[in-house]
Amino acid sequence: MQARWLWAVGAAVVGGVVAVGVVAAVDDGPKPADAQETTTTANGGAGSGGGGATSSSDTLRTVTVTADGTASGTPDTAIVQLGVRTRAESANEALDLANQKATDLLAALDFGGVEKEDITTTNVFVYPQYGNDGRQITGYEAGNTVSVKIRDIENAGTIIDATAGVVGDEIVLEGVSFTIDDTGTLREAAREDALTNAKTQAEQLASASGLSLGDIVSIVEGSVPDIPVFRTEAAAADAAGGSVPLEPGQQELNLAVTVVYELAS
Protein backbone atom coordinates (compact mmCIF):
# COMPACT_ATOMS: atom_id res chain seq x y z
CA MET A 1 0.00 0.00 0.00
CA GLN A 2 2.79 2.39 0.82
CA ALA A 3 4.46 1.77 -2.56
CA ARG A 4 1.25 2.55 -4.43
CA TRP A 5 0.92 5.94 -2.72
CA LEU A 6 4.60 6.78 -3.33
CA TRP A 7 4.14 5.90 -7.00
CA ALA A 8 1.12 8.19 -7.26
CA VAL A 9 3.00 11.08 -5.65
CA GLY A 10 5.95 10.56 -7.99
CA ALA A 11 3.63 10.78 -10.92
CA ALA A 12 2.32 14.03 -9.55
CA VAL A 13 5.80 15.53 -9.75
CA VAL A 14 6.00 14.65 -13.44
CA GLY A 15 2.42 15.54 -14.40
CA GLY A 16 -0.18 16.74 -11.92
CA VAL A 17 -3.15 15.81 -14.06
CA VAL A 18 -2.10 12.14 -14.35
CA ALA A 19 -1.56 11.90 -10.58
CA VAL A 20 -5.11 13.01 -9.87
CA GLY A 21 -6.41 10.30 -12.17
CA VAL A 22 -4.37 7.62 -10.47
CA VAL A 23 -5.43 8.61 -6.99
CA ALA A 24 -9.09 8.69 -8.05
CA ALA A 25 -8.74 5.20 -9.48
CA VAL A 26 -7.09 3.88 -6.35
CA ASP A 27 -9.64 5.50 -4.05
CA ASP A 28 -12.53 4.65 -6.38
CA GLY A 29 -13.83 8.22 -5.96
CA PRO A 30 -16.26 10.11 -8.20
CA LYS A 31 -15.33 10.67 -11.82
CA PRO A 32 -15.18 14.27 -13.11
CA ALA A 33 -18.32 15.36 -14.90
CA ASP A 34 -17.70 15.92 -18.61
CA ALA A 35 -20.71 18.23 -19.25
CA GLN A 36 -19.61 21.61 -20.60
CA GLU A 37 -21.30 24.81 -21.71
CA THR A 38 -22.18 25.09 -25.40
CA THR A 39 -22.28 28.62 -26.82
CA THR A 40 -23.10 29.74 -30.33
CA THR A 41 -22.23 33.22 -31.54
CA ALA A 42 -23.17 35.19 -34.58
CA ASN A 43 -19.62 34.92 -35.97
CA GLY A 44 -18.91 31.32 -34.99
CA GLY A 45 -20.46 27.89 -34.58
CA ALA A 46 -21.26 25.79 -31.55
CA GLY A 47 -18.34 24.60 -29.43
CA SER A 48 -17.39 23.36 -25.99
CA GLY A 49 -16.89 25.93 -23.31
CA GLY A 50 -13.08 25.89 -22.93
CA GLY A 51 -12.10 28.35 -20.20
CA GLY A 52 -15.76 29.14 -19.52
CA ALA A 53 -16.83 25.50 -19.06
CA THR A 54 -18.19 24.22 -15.77
CA SER A 55 -18.71 20.74 -14.39
CA SER A 56 -22.47 21.15 -14.03
CA SER A 57 -24.72 19.19 -16.39
CA ASP A 58 -27.31 21.98 -16.10
CA THR A 59 -25.12 24.67 -17.66
CA LEU A 60 -27.17 27.15 -19.70
CA ARG A 61 -26.68 26.96 -23.45
CA THR A 62 -26.85 30.35 -25.14
CA VAL A 63 -26.44 32.10 -28.44
CA THR A 64 -25.06 35.67 -28.65
CA VAL A 65 -25.80 37.96 -31.58
CA THR A 66 -25.02 41.58 -32.42
CA ALA A 67 -27.32 43.45 -34.80
CA ASP A 68 -27.69 46.98 -36.12
CA GLY A 69 -30.82 49.08 -36.19
CA THR A 70 -31.56 52.11 -38.36
CA ALA A 71 -34.16 54.87 -38.34
CA SER A 72 -34.39 57.93 -40.56
CA GLY A 73 -35.98 61.33 -40.15
CA THR A 74 -36.14 64.82 -41.60
CA PRO A 75 -33.82 67.41 -40.00
CA ASP A 76 -35.61 70.11 -38.04
CA THR A 77 -32.67 72.43 -37.30
CA ALA A 78 -30.24 74.33 -39.51
CA ILE A 79 -26.78 75.26 -38.22
CA VAL A 80 -25.37 78.20 -40.14
CA GLN A 81 -21.82 79.60 -39.99
CA LEU A 82 -22.21 83.33 -40.56
CA GLY A 83 -19.78 86.16 -40.18
CA VAL A 84 -18.42 89.51 -41.30
CA ARG A 85 -15.09 90.44 -42.85
CA THR A 86 -13.82 94.00 -43.19
CA ARG A 87 -10.71 95.75 -44.51
CA ALA A 88 -9.13 99.05 -43.54
CA GLU A 89 -5.76 100.79 -43.50
CA SER A 90 -5.24 100.28 -39.76
CA ALA A 91 -6.00 97.40 -37.44
CA ASN A 92 -8.22 99.55 -35.22
CA GLU A 93 -10.28 100.77 -38.15
CA ALA A 94 -10.74 97.24 -39.50
CA LEU A 95 -11.73 95.92 -36.08
CA ASP A 96 -14.14 98.78 -35.37
CA LEU A 97 -15.84 98.22 -38.71
CA ALA A 98 -16.05 94.48 -38.07
CA ASN A 99 -17.57 95.10 -34.65
CA GLN A 100 -20.19 97.37 -36.16
CA LYS A 101 -21.09 94.87 -38.86
CA ALA A 102 -21.18 92.00 -36.34
CA THR A 103 -23.60 94.01 -34.19
CA ASP A 104 -25.82 94.50 -37.26
CA LEU A 105 -25.64 90.77 -37.96
CA LEU A 106 -26.74 89.86 -34.43
CA ALA A 107 -29.58 92.36 -34.60
CA ALA A 108 -30.82 90.80 -37.84
CA LEU A 109 -30.72 87.32 -36.29
CA ASP A 110 -32.66 88.57 -33.27
CA PHE A 111 -35.25 90.16 -35.55
CA GLY A 112 -35.52 86.83 -37.39
CA GLY A 113 -36.49 85.06 -34.16
CA VAL A 114 -33.19 83.36 -33.36
CA GLU A 115 -32.70 82.97 -29.60
CA LYS A 116 -29.54 84.40 -28.05
CA GLU A 117 -28.54 81.03 -26.57
CA ASP A 118 -28.54 79.60 -30.10
CA ILE A 119 -25.80 81.97 -31.25
CA THR A 120 -22.15 81.17 -30.45
CA THR A 121 -19.12 83.23 -31.42
CA THR A 122 -16.61 80.90 -33.06
CA ASN A 123 -13.88 83.24 -34.31
CA VAL A 124 -12.67 86.84 -34.01
CA PHE A 125 -9.55 87.93 -35.91
CA VAL A 126 -7.41 90.83 -37.08
CA TYR A 127 -4.36 90.33 -39.25
CA PRO A 128 -2.28 92.37 -41.68
CA GLN A 129 -2.40 92.16 -45.43
CA TYR A 130 0.84 92.31 -47.42
CA GLY A 131 1.77 93.56 -50.84
CA ASN A 132 3.21 91.54 -53.68
CA ASP A 133 6.65 91.54 -52.06
CA GLY A 134 5.24 89.76 -49.01
CA ARG A 135 6.83 92.25 -46.62
CA GLN A 136 5.11 95.60 -46.86
CA ILE A 137 1.80 95.88 -44.97
CA THR A 138 -0.91 97.33 -47.20
CA GLY A 139 -3.79 97.17 -44.74
CA TYR A 140 -5.61 95.03 -42.21
CA GLU A 141 -8.46 92.55 -42.33
CA ALA A 142 -10.78 91.87 -39.39
CA GLY A 143 -13.65 89.49 -38.92
CA ASN A 144 -16.16 87.94 -36.56
CA THR A 145 -17.86 84.58 -37.10
CA VAL A 146 -20.82 83.03 -35.30
CA SER A 147 -22.47 79.62 -35.36
CA VAL A 148 -26.23 80.04 -35.51
CA LYS A 149 -28.77 77.35 -34.69
CA ILE A 150 -31.98 78.11 -36.59
CA ARG A 151 -34.83 75.99 -35.25
CA ASP A 152 -37.36 77.43 -37.68
CA ILE A 153 -35.82 75.48 -40.52
CA GLU A 154 -38.46 76.48 -43.08
CA ASN A 155 -37.44 80.12 -42.68
CA ALA A 156 -33.69 79.52 -42.45
CA GLY A 157 -33.10 80.72 -46.01
CA THR A 158 -35.06 83.90 -45.38
CA ILE A 159 -33.09 84.60 -42.18
CA ILE A 160 -29.78 84.16 -44.02
CA ASP A 161 -30.95 86.48 -46.77
CA ALA A 162 -32.02 89.10 -44.23
CA THR A 163 -28.62 89.13 -42.55
CA ALA A 164 -26.94 89.60 -45.93
CA GLY A 165 -29.22 92.55 -46.62
CA VAL A 166 -28.35 94.18 -43.30
CA VAL A 167 -24.59 93.55 -43.30
CA GLY A 168 -24.02 94.15 -47.00
CA ASP A 169 -20.88 93.17 -48.89
CA GLU A 170 -19.03 92.34 -45.67
CA ILE A 171 -21.23 89.29 -45.03
CA VAL A 172 -19.54 85.88 -45.00
CA LEU A 173 -21.48 82.61 -45.25
CA GLU A 174 -19.11 79.76 -44.46
CA GLY A 175 -21.47 76.81 -44.51
CA VAL A 176 -24.83 75.29 -43.62
CA SER A 177 -25.50 71.94 -41.99
CA PHE A 178 -28.63 70.20 -40.75
CA THR A 179 -29.41 68.11 -37.73
CA ILE A 180 -32.29 66.58 -35.78
CA ASP A 181 -32.54 68.36 -32.45
CA ASP A 182 -34.43 65.65 -30.51
CA THR A 183 -33.41 62.13 -31.51
CA GLY A 184 -35.49 60.32 -28.85
CA THR A 185 -38.12 59.02 -31.28
CA LEU A 186 -35.46 57.95 -33.77
CA ARG A 187 -33.58 56.05 -31.06
CA GLU A 188 -36.71 54.11 -30.14
CA ALA A 189 -37.35 53.13 -33.74
CA ALA A 190 -33.70 52.15 -34.25
CA ARG A 191 -33.76 49.98 -31.10
CA GLU A 192 -36.86 48.14 -32.29
CA ASP A 193 -35.25 47.55 -35.67
CA ALA A 194 -32.03 46.28 -34.03
CA LEU A 195 -33.89 43.86 -31.74
CA THR A 196 -35.90 42.50 -34.66
CA ASN A 197 -32.71 41.90 -36.63
CA ALA A 198 -31.04 40.29 -33.61
CA LYS A 199 -33.90 37.83 -33.14
CA THR A 200 -33.79 36.86 -36.82
CA GLN A 201 -30.06 36.13 -36.60
CA ALA A 202 -30.45 34.14 -33.39
CA GLU A 203 -33.27 32.03 -34.83
CA GLN A 204 -31.15 31.20 -37.87
CA LEU A 205 -28.20 30.15 -35.71
CA ALA A 206 -30.37 28.09 -33.40
CA SER A 207 -32.05 26.32 -36.31
CA ALA A 208 -28.69 25.59 -37.95
CA SER A 209 -27.55 24.05 -34.65
CA GLY A 210 -30.63 21.84 -34.37
CA LEU A 211 -31.91 23.80 -31.38
CA SER A 212 -34.73 26.21 -30.66
CA LEU A 213 -34.60 29.76 -29.37
CA GLY A 214 -35.52 30.39 -25.76
CA ASP A 215 -35.84 33.47 -23.57
CA ILE A 216 -33.58 36.51 -23.67
CA VAL A 217 -30.80 36.31 -21.09
CA SER A 218 -29.33 39.82 -21.53
CA ILE A 219 -29.37 42.86 -23.83
CA VAL A 220 -26.57 45.42 -24.22
CA GLU A 221 -26.95 48.52 -26.39
CA GLY A 222 -23.84 49.65 -28.18
CA SER A 223 -22.57 53.18 -28.53
CA VAL A 224 -24.67 55.41 -30.73
CA PRO A 225 -22.80 57.15 -33.55
CA ASP A 226 -23.42 60.82 -34.12
CA ILE A 227 -26.12 61.61 -36.60
CA PRO A 228 -24.38 62.25 -39.90
CA VAL A 229 -24.43 65.89 -40.97
CA PHE A 230 -25.29 66.52 -44.60
CA ARG A 231 -24.09 69.86 -45.87
CA THR A 232 -25.74 71.85 -48.60
CA GLU A 233 -24.22 74.71 -50.48
CA ALA A 234 -26.14 77.93 -50.04
CA ALA A 235 -26.31 80.29 -52.97
CA ALA A 236 -25.95 84.02 -52.40
CA ALA A 237 -29.18 85.98 -52.26
CA ASP A 238 -30.06 87.56 -55.61
CA ALA A 239 -30.69 91.21 -56.28
CA ALA A 240 -34.45 90.71 -56.13
CA GLY A 241 -34.17 89.69 -52.50
CA GLY A 242 -35.06 86.01 -52.89
CA SER A 243 -34.32 83.79 -49.90
CA VAL A 244 -31.43 81.34 -49.96
CA PRO A 245 -32.71 77.92 -51.18
CA LEU A 246 -32.00 75.14 -48.66
CA GLU A 247 -32.80 71.42 -48.79
CA PRO A 248 -32.36 69.54 -45.48
CA GLY A 249 -32.83 66.05 -46.99
CA GLN A 250 -33.02 62.95 -44.76
CA GLN A 251 -30.70 61.72 -42.04
CA GLU A 252 -30.21 58.32 -40.41
CA LEU A 253 -29.51 57.23 -36.86
CA ASN A 254 -27.79 53.88 -36.32
CA LEU A 255 -27.21 51.87 -33.16
CA ALA A 256 -26.28 48.29 -32.26
CA VAL A 257 -27.53 45.80 -29.69
CA THR A 258 -25.91 42.62 -28.40
CA VAL A 259 -28.48 40.06 -27.27
CA VAL A 260 -27.93 36.75 -25.49
CA TYR A 261 -30.67 34.14 -26.00
CA GLU A 262 -31.18 30.83 -24.22
CA LEU A 263 -31.05 27.73 -26.42
CA ALA A 264 -33.35 24.76 -25.92
CA SER A 265 -33.25 21.27 -27.36
Q: Is 4 helix (H, G, I), strand (E, B) or coil?
A: helix
Structural domain of 108? 77-179
Among the listed residues 207, 225, 199, 212, the one whose alpha carbon sits nearest the alpha carbon of residue 64: 199
Among the listed residues 94, 78, 89, the one whose alpha carbon sits nearest the alpha carbon of residue 179: 78
Residue 236 lies in a domain: no
Whether 154 and 187 map to the same domain: the answer is no
CATH of residue 83's domain is 3.30.70.2970
Residue 256 lies in a domain: yes
What is 206-228 written as a DSSP string? HHHTT-EEEEEEEEEE-PPPPPP
Name every residue whose Cβ is closer than 8 Å to that of residue 124 and which is 6 or more positions away in sequence: 143, 144, 145
Whether 203 and 82 map to the same domain: the answer is no
Is 0.85 surpassed by the pTM of this model? Answer: no
Give the span between the Cα atoms of 120 and 174, in whole angstroms: 14
Helix axes 16-27 and 2-14, enclosed angle (nearest 10) = 150
* pLDDT per residue of the chain (265 residues) written in tens, 0 to 9: 444 433 333 333 333 333 333 333 333 444 444 434 444 445 433 333 333 333 344 678 999 999 999 999 999 999 999 999 999 999 999 999 999 999 999 999 999 999 999 999 999 999 999 988 888 999 999 999 999 999 999 999 999 999 999 999 999 999 999 999 888 999 999 999 999 999 999 999 999 999 999 999 999 998 655 544 444 433 333 434 467 888 888 888 999 999 999 998 8
CATH of residue 57's domain is 3.30.110.170
Domain count, the chain: 2
Beta-strand pair 77-88/137-150: antiparallel
